[in-house]
Structure 1
Amino acid sequence: MAPGTPRVFVSHLSGVPVFDPNGDQVGRVRDLVAMLRVGGRPPRLLGIVVEVVSRRRIFLPMTRVTGIESGQVITTGVVNMRRFEQRPTERLVLGEFLDRRVSLVETGEEVTILDVAIQQLPARRDWEIDKYFVRKGRGGALRRKGETLTVEWSAVSGFSLEEHGQGAESLVATFEKLRPTDVANALHHLSPKRRAEVAAALDDDRLADVLEELPEDDQVEIIGKLKEERAADVLEAMDPDDAADLLSELPEADKERLLTLMRPDDAADVRRLMSYEERTAGGLMTTEPIILRPDATVADALARVRQSDLSPALAAQVYVCRSPDETPTGKYLGTVHFQRLLRDPPFTLVSSLVDSDLVALPPHTPLSVVTSYLAAYNMVSVPVVDESGSLLGAVTVDDVLDHLLPDDWRETDFHGREGVPGDR
């Protein structure tokens, strides 16, 4: 870990309040969720179990935690209120780690874990288990008399997954090292039973990323084997255009049931995309490009571009629109390209930098015209506007490629692997 990266002992987090960016309390921390990993890597912290006012316990991913300090947890403000359910690959840090008997690797001596330290990775929102605070000696009367010490996570045995394990946990831990497209390629070559086991063990965000890279038949098969509430959570985590494509492959009754279970805002975006023909700008676009108001600055734009969950194509430019700044927006004013943002001072208003020469496309524009537009102007995305000039979304080059390549291109083992670990 980089020097100066804060370390937090989880016992200090139990019961602390969780706040949104406005200072309103969301709930209180009741536990933390970790995932064990193979290959000598420290356990990864997936998120926090938060008890909200209604006494319901929900899951808050670490990617939505912006700060852990001064006896409080700060979130991005986006919280899924569905009840927390522990997955097979997940471990509750307070509930399952503390008071657990493990062994010191160097001496084989048994110790009891009294506390667990977590630490944030530099320049990221990922957190890992860093150290254990342990007491030597056996339980009972000797427990209070044993020597206590803080050791590295790698200094104890009893938690790590075995490399040769054949369960879904080991396979999921192995897949964690791969890009979503590589995980999708591996999943495609598993048996249906094995594929369902692995999909059930992946967390929502990871499964959403993987589903976006799978052939349609595999997507339908996997989403059909998930519990409906879990399936709705995964669809919410997918890019709206990919979720719309997947839902369009389902029977009408299943589609409506899942849309009803999704958050209203997410469902509205997906329904809007499904109203357009598939091979048109409206059917291809994402409804979540980077949108800024005219009074935003270059510094504001660069902060948005730096978000790690954006694809390179979406991060290549920002779209300047009048309020409201969520699709469908107010009047679309123009685009500011990433290169231009790098050339101007941070305090410059984006409204003074917009490129308004390139016309935006209406949603009914056919795929062939969208492709020609991107090629002619050397663009990686194109804005889509309605008849009133409001921005509806943007079509990115990767979405266009998906529809230009052969239908079965995702089923090709383009990495040339002959086997998949954990499947026989």
Structure 2
Amino acid sequence: MSRSAPTRVFVGRLAGTSVFDPLGDPVGKVHDVVVLIRTSSLPRAVGLVVEVPGKRRVFLPLSRVVSISTGAVITTGLLNIRRFSQRASETLVVGQLVDRRVTMADGSGTAVVTDVAIEQQRNRDWLVTQLFVERSGASRGLRRRRGEQLIVDVDDVVDISGDAGPQPATTLLSTMEDLKPADVADVLHDLPPNRQIEVAAELSDDRLADVLEELSEDDRVAIVSGLDANRAADVLDVMQPDDAADLVNELPPDVARSLLDLMEPEEAEDVRRLIAYEERAAGGLMTTEPIILPPEATVAAALASARRPDVTPALATMVFVVRPPLETPSGRLLGVVHIQRALREPPSAQLGSMLDSDIETVGPHADIGKITRLLATYNLTALPVVDEERRLLGAISVDDVLDHLLPDDWRDADTEATDTAMTRSAHG
């Protein structure tokens, strides 16, 4: 490391810092720091988790870091783009250590870790030497106010690896405020199981519902199973019915039955209808809540419905026009109105005057192969599912089909490897 570079860095300031290769080309941004907590000595920082283009997080050994300065981390070579996978002996500073409650060694109470300092030693190892903490439960004799923030040495706390019960996720959540659900899901995937549940529990119902839809089966089953049952049922209530049905199908039968009993009756009924069908048939793939309007509804009403935040982009391209009732199973399907067509008409025009009545439909038992062929042949993003009397049961969107056509582990698949000057063997 150059003499001008700092030897002590607070991880809170390091997170988000750009990482550059020796030629000065940016390769990513620091997402977290990996440390090994040891009982006999100070915790050792072994590497950085770097987020590279494509939202992929990879491991960068600190032995390959040339310098750390304001706004820049310089490496000695290319990154290994294989996805970072945390080992059991490792702790993520932002993901796990920050927000952890620790006990002060002087017996003055507890404190919450809000930042962590790593410091380079003469042998070029990086150690965790200091903690930025917020005090709580301090005695009056110390004349310290509750909530006081101060820097303490690691030796001033009893054990930073100790289990002090459920850990809040305040700092970690603040780093995810502007992330899309798929990116939040990626962050959760990288956390240990217990921490996954702690973080998920602090997300709002709507936010958690969106994130669960982006997680792998194993992750979302673990999270839902780890939540309080009433909270899990509330989250299922706000999920898209087809996604909720997929998740319920993945749960142990006794857990699934319990959660369905706790859900709102109308939402639970939709889910029960869907799980009655084979998972890869039209009935199992469809959502029961597409945009449904009567023929006398106007273009203005259709556009307002398409703007609803709970309507996915694929479903927002099409309005299903039916006779009453408008809830699925609806009255007879008259046809669809493509939003692109509606945009060419005056707001007061009625949907019945611009129907596409030749739209292809499928029954609830149609297989995924037929559905895929129809979507591709007619360049559709959604397809109506009807019964024998042409009553609308629901709609299948192209993203629902893709989720079932891709391999189960597609969210975790690595991208094609590139030439690398780093290997994970340097990790330890």
TM-score category of the 2 structures, normalised to the smaller one? 0.5 to 0.7
Greater shift in the superposed pair: 220-229 or 304-313: 304-313
Q: Aligned residue for 1:146?
A: none
SS in 1 for 2:274: helix
Please give the per-residue CA displacement for 1:67-86, whole angstroms capped at 9, x wherever unaligned.
Answer: xxxxxxxxxxxxxxxxxxxx
Given the superposition, is the C-alpha separation of residues 414 and 341 from structure 1 closer, same or farther in structure 2, using an over 3 Å criterion? Answer: farther
Given the superposition, is the C-alpha separation of residues 235 and 329 from structure 1 closer, same or farther in structure 2, using an over 3 Å criterion? Answer: same
| Alignment TM-score, normalising by the size of structure 2 | 0.58
Q: Aligned residue for 1:310?
A: 311
SS in 1 for 2:175: helix
Given the superposition, is the C-alpha separation of residues 337 and 405 from structure 1 closer, same or farther in structure 2, using an over 3 Å criterion? Answer: same
The offset of 1:308, in angstroms, is: 2.6
RMSD: 2.4
Letter in 2 for 1:316: T
Q: 2:215 matched to 1:228?
A: no
Q: What are the residue-to-residue correspondences of 1:167-186 with 2, within 5 Å?
A: 168-186=169-187
Q: Aligned residue for 2:68?
A: none
Q: 2:328 matched to 1:327?
A: yes
Q: 2:198 matched to 1:197?
A: yes
Given the superposition, is the C-alpha separation of residues 398 and 356 from structure 1 closer, same or farther in structure 2, using an over 3 Å criterion? Answer: same
Q: What are the residue-to-residue correspondences of 1:91-110 with 2, within 5 Å?
A: none
Q: Aligned residue for 1:255?
A: 256
Distance 1:379 1:176 in 2: 33
The runs of 5 or more residues in structure 1 that have no matched partner are 1-37, 40-88, 90-157, 161-165, 419-424
SS in 1 for 2:250: coil
Distance 2:403 2:275 in 1: 17
The offset of 1:348, in angstroms, is: 1.0
Letter in 2 for 1:194: R
Given the superposition, is the C-alpha separation of residues 271 and 344 from structure 1 closer, same or farther in structure 2, using an over 3 Å criterion? Answer: same
Please give the per-residue CA displacement for 1:25-78, whole angstroms capped at 9, x wherever unaligned.
Answer: xxxxxxxxxxxxx99xxxxxxxxxxxxxxxxxxxxxxxxxxxxxxxxxxxxxxx
SS in 2 for 1:343: coil
Given the superposition, is the C-alpha separation of residues 318 and 408 from structure 1 closer, same or farther in structure 2, using an over 3 Å criterion? Answer: same
Distance 2:148 2:333 in 1: 54
Please give the per-residue CA displacement for 1:79-107, whole angstroms capped at 9, x wherever unaligned.
Answer: xxxxxxxxxx9xxxxxxxxxxxxxxxxxx
Please give the per-residue CA displacement for 1:147-202, whole angstroms capped at 9, x wherever unaligned.
Answer: xxxxxxxxxxx999xxxxx9511111211211000111111111111111101111
Q: Aligned residue for 2:366?
A: 365
Q: Aligned residue for 2:247?
A: 246
Q: Aligned residue for 1:277?
A: 278
- Contact 2:360 2:374 (C-alpha < 8 Å) held by counterparts: no
The runs of 5 or more residues in structure 2 that have no matched partner are 1-14, 17-98, 100-146, 150-166, 423-428
Greater relative contact order, per chain length (Cα 8 Å cut-off, separation 6+): 2
- Contact 1:180 1:206 (C-alpha < 8 Å) held by counterparts: yes
Letter in 2 for 1:339: Q
Please give the per-residue CA displacement for 1:189-235, whole angstroms capped at 9, x wherever unaligned.
Answer: 11111111101111111000000000111111000111111000000
Letter in 1 for 2:256: K
Distance 1:159 1:246 in 2: 44
Identity %: 58
| Alignment TM-score, normalising by the size of structure 1 | 0.58
- Contact 1:185 1:413 (C-alpha < 8 Å) held by counterparts: no
Given the superposition, is the C-alpha separation of residues 190 and 203 from structure 1 closer, same or farther in structure 2, using an over 3 Å criterion? Answer: same
Letter in 1 for 2:360: V
Q: Aligned residue for 2:88?
A: none
Given the superposition, is the C-alpha separation of residues 190 and 413 from structure 1 closer, same or farther in structure 2, using an over 3 Å criterion? Answer: farther
Q: Aligned residue for 1:296?
A: 297
Letter in 1 for 2:205: D
Give the total of aligned pairs: 258
Given the superposition, is the C-alpha separation of residues 159 and 405 from structure 1 closer, same or farther in structure 2, using an over 3 Å criterion? Answer: farther
Q: Aligned residue for 1:69?
A: none
The offset of 1:359, in angstroms, is: 2.5
Distance 2:416 2:198 in 1: 23
Given the superposition, is the C-alpha separation of residues 159 and 352 from structure 1 closer, same or farther in structure 2, using an over 3 Å criterion? Answer: farther
- Contact 2:384 2:395 (C-alpha < 8 Å) held by counterparts: yes
SS in 2 for 1:170: helix
- Contact 2:168 2:199 (C-alpha < 8 Å) held by counterparts: no
SS in 1 for 2:343: helix
Q: What are the residue-to-residue correspondences of 1:346-357 with 2, within 5 Å?
A: 346-357=347-358
- Contact 1:229 1:261 (C-alpha < 8 Å) held by counterparts: yes
Distance 1:268 1:159 in 2: 51
The offset of 1:412, in angstroms, is: 3.0
Distance 2:265 2:241 in 1: 13
Letter in 2 for 1:302: L
